[in-house]
Structure 1
Amino acid sequence: MSFFGKLKNKLFKSSSKLDEGLDAIVQDGGEDAAPEVDVPAPEPVKTPDAIPNDIAEIPTDESEPASEVAPDQETDLVRSSDPLAEAVAQAPEEASKPGILGRLMGRGGESADLRRVLDDDMLESLEELLIQSDMGVDTALRVSANIAEGRMGKKLSVTEIKGLLAGEIARIMEPVAKPLPLYATKPQVVLVVGVNGSGKTTTIGKLASQFRAAGKKVVIAAGDTFRAAAVEQLQVWGDRAGVPVLTAPEGSDPASLAYDAMTKAQEDGADLLMIDTAGRLQNRQDLMEELAKIVRVIRKKDPDAPHNTLLVLDATTGQNAVTQVEVFRKISDVSGLVMTKLDGTARGGVLVSLADKFGLPIHAIGVGEQIDDLAPFDPEEFAAALTGLDAE
């Protein structure tokens, strides 16, 4: 199954919530569909034939990513994918009696034949639905206003609303869908941060395995010295990928381990050094200060380090992810995001809120525990999966 296929299936909770909400909005005051309705259609979102497995790009310059790279510098980690979903702008055909799945997902049946005039009441209901989907108040209002522009008084079906909604989501997220930049600097230091349970350790293991498979020499530093399980988990990934994992006795100073790891990576000529950190609650000042210390110490070896600081976010936390981004940006100069656990939540809309509010690159998203469940972030496929468009 393609990653988009997994994304569709595993975003069932989020798409189902939107499906049911849109269905209810149209049924509340809806009328039988007219033969023709003059409704401006959203720009189509094209579907590619295949999804690359790339997760990073290698620029030729040491400080700035380049638009083109030499063949010997190519790697196969997260690169922006081609669009992967098609927004349907036309009205649905007369539907037959829906099955159990169709009813559960709010598709088919009477609502498929209904349209509702877009008025102030409908617009307010749409805004409330998007807010409930963890899209955030500001983003929800902006998306609703863009959908309403030039369409007030027009009759819309659920399918048409989904198409318009997917188009707006993709437009917001297009600028942040960026691969993880790789530079000529050796070792390139990638610091991975996040709160407890966000999926940092698993993400590091998956990234290291993919980088290694692309021919990169990778070293992992198990900087979560307070949790033996995290170290063991990284060692399992390291053994699986053939990547060395540097550890220290439980309770050791993480900053010292990071410094030693940089020395080791330099001696070995490693391309990448990935440093795990202890899960930090943003309201624990002592732990946040410890993270700041790690950054200060590694800059003694390289003033430009860390070259990437990835913030791993758990999608199930909803709008709390916004607070996490704000805090970690102050402490560690976050350069990009990875969103995990999209398969276990109805709060997928929070990723739209993050893109709209911060504009930070989203390098990858995770929808499971397997290595291929971490893949490049593509705005069109995400928008289609989130709104359930492909099921129409």
Structure 2
Amino acid sequence: MFSFFKRKPKEPAPVPEQPASAPVAPAPTPATSFSTSPAPAADTPSAVTPSPITPAAITPPVQDVQTEAPQPAEIVAAPAPAPEQKRSWLSRLKAGLAKTSSNLTTLFIGARIDDDLYDELEAALLTSDAGVEATLFLLDALKKKVKEEKLTEAVQVKAALKTLLIDLLTPLQKPLVLGQYQPLVMMIAGVNGAGKTTTIGKLAKHMQTHQQSVVLAAGDTFRAAAREQLTIWGERNDVTVIAQESGDPAAVAFDAVASAKARGTDVVMVDTAGRLPTQLHLMEELKKIKRVIAKGMDGAPQEVLLIIDGNTGQNALAQVKAFDDALQLTGLVITKLDGTAKGGVLAAIAKTRPVPVYFIGIGEQIEDLQPFNAQEFVDALLN
């Protein structure tokens, strides 16, 4: 259960109670049911879509008096999938990574542990977009492990490689913390075609299943279709979208933060125009958006996420480096791992620029976006 922040009453009381001006909040409804009561209008210059916001209650649920302050909750999945859904997710993830999995696993079938095996493994890792640095790191560690543990069977070497990959990727496995800020402001960046706007819609649904109210900011003012697409996701999830037909995307972001503060909204997600990191003037605009958001709320944005197309290979690593240098990324979302994605780029990211991977996506449905789990990912590659 998430902990929410509330305004302190004017006079202290020995037992926590609601402020005199606010009615006592009912016990929270299950994550699958949402409030449809309209939110108060925000005093912002931007146009707001007619879909009402679905605010999560900001009053803590009724519970026994406690002496310790409640802790922020972590978003893990929304909600926990049924066993058959989990099996379906893992099977589709494995199917998406099938090419790399085949290249790696077939090496160990009846193989002798010699230099030829290591050479073939090196080629397979490089082909999977693991990159030179991560590939050499894994090979050196594997040779050392084989020698120290006196491994003599190919299946043992495969298991050793699996362990090394899990150890390498586990630092990227980090949950997205909710309830720590009011509101939590998330700035979403990425190149054109990475699935940025669609991912924002999926994340909004994930937030709602964790009883978080959401407002979306259509900061991609260069592409009219982007605003329309985000509005559709807003209507689908029953959340407000702050948008302007034209103008400064930084102003849209500022208005969205102001609206969220006025409404008591839990999460603000700011969409930005897709751009290549080589477009320096556009990268400067991203920096401006971040500065303007900070003026609207101290410490914001608390999360700066980069959406990456899983099929872009080593170019994904270049994107991470460029956007991280410009914006100081706090997390990544890897999308489209359901096609020709090779998957090895996560090893390159882990070794070269270890920005946490919050989510990975394998399709267009809401449930196709799931928190990154290093064990599951490596299982899909090497089982």
TM-score interval for Structure 1 and Structure 2 normalised by the shorter chain: 0.7 to 0.9
Instruction: Identify which of 304, 307, 322 aligns with 2:299.
Output: 304
Deviation, 1:154, is 5.2
2:220 matched to 1:224?
yes
Q: Is the Cα contact below 8 Å between 1:3 and 1:375 reproduced in 2?
A: no
C-alpha distance in structure 2 between counterparts of 1:308 and 1:4, whole Å: 31
Cα distance per residue 1:188-231 (max 9 Å; x no partner)? 11000111111111111011111112211110001111112221
More deviation, 351-360/376-385? 351-360
- Give the Cα separation in 2 of the matches to 1:154 and 1:335: 39
Q: Which residue of 2 aligns with 1:131?
A: 126
How far did residue 324 of structure 1 move? 0.5
Cα separation, 1, equivalents of 2:273 and 2:319: 15
Query: Does residue 1:284 correspond to 2:279, yes or no?
Result: yes
What does 1:366-385 correspond to in 2, within 5 Å? 366-385=361-380
Gap change, CA 1:319 and 1:7, over 3 Å in 2: farther
Give 1:9 shift. Answer: 3.0
Aligned to 1:185: 181
Contact 2:360 2:371 in 1 (8 A): yes
Counterpart CA distance in 1 for 2:119 and 2:111 is 17
Report how far residue 7 of structure 1 moved.
3.5
The answer on 1:174 being equivalent to 2:170 is yes
Which residue of the partner structure matches residue 343 of structure 1?
A: 338
What is aligned with 1:12?
95
Change (3 A) 1:17 1:296: closer
Alpha-carbon distance in structure 2 between the residues aligned to 1:271 and 1:13: 34
- Partners of 2:269 and 2:332 lie apart in 1 by 15
Shift, 1:136, TM fit: 0.9
1:336 Cα deviation from its structure 2 partner:
0.7
Deviation digits for residues 8-38 of structure 1 (CA, Å, limit 9, x no counterpart): 3344353333424542x45xxxxxxxxxxxx
Contact 1:186 1:272 in 2 (8 A): yes
Superposed CA RMSD: 1.8
Query: Residue type of the partner of 1:137?
Result: V
- Which amino acid in 2 is paired with 1:341? K
Whether the 8 Å CA contact 1:218–1:273 is kept in 2: the answer is yes
Structure-2-length-normalised TM-score = 0.74
**Aligned residue identity for 1:342:** L
**d(CA) in 2 for partners of 1:299 and 1:201?**
22
Could you tell me which of 293, 316, 323 is aligned with 1:321?
A: 316
Question: Scaled by the length of structure 1, what TM-score is found?
Answer: 0.72
CA apart distance, 1:320: 0.5
Report whether the alignment pairs 1:204 with 2:200.
yes
Q: Secondary structure at the match of 1:215?
A: coil
Aligned to 1:359: 354
- What amino acid maps onto 1:129 in structure 2? A
- Provide the rounded CA distance (Å) in 1 between the counterparts of 2:267 and 2:101: 41
Question: Paired residue for 1:162?
Answer: 158
Structure 2: tracts of 5 or more residues without a match? 1-83
Is 1:295 the counterpart of 2:378? The answer is no
| Matches of 1:13 and 1:216, distance apart in 2 | 31
* Alignment-derived partner of residue 50 in structure 1: none
Structure 2 distance, partners of 1:260, 1:308, is: 18
CA contact (8 A) 1:212 1:243 kept: no
Shift of 1:165: 2.2
Q: 1:351 to 1:263 in 2, by over 3 A?
A: same
2:139 to 140, 144, 157: 144
Between the aligned residues of both structures, percent identity stands at 42
**What SS does the corresponding residue of 2:187 show, helix, strand or coil?**
strand
Count of residues in correspondence between the two structures: 298
User: Equivalent residue for 2:253?
Assistant: 258
Structure 2: how far apart are the matches of 1:17 and 1:359? 21
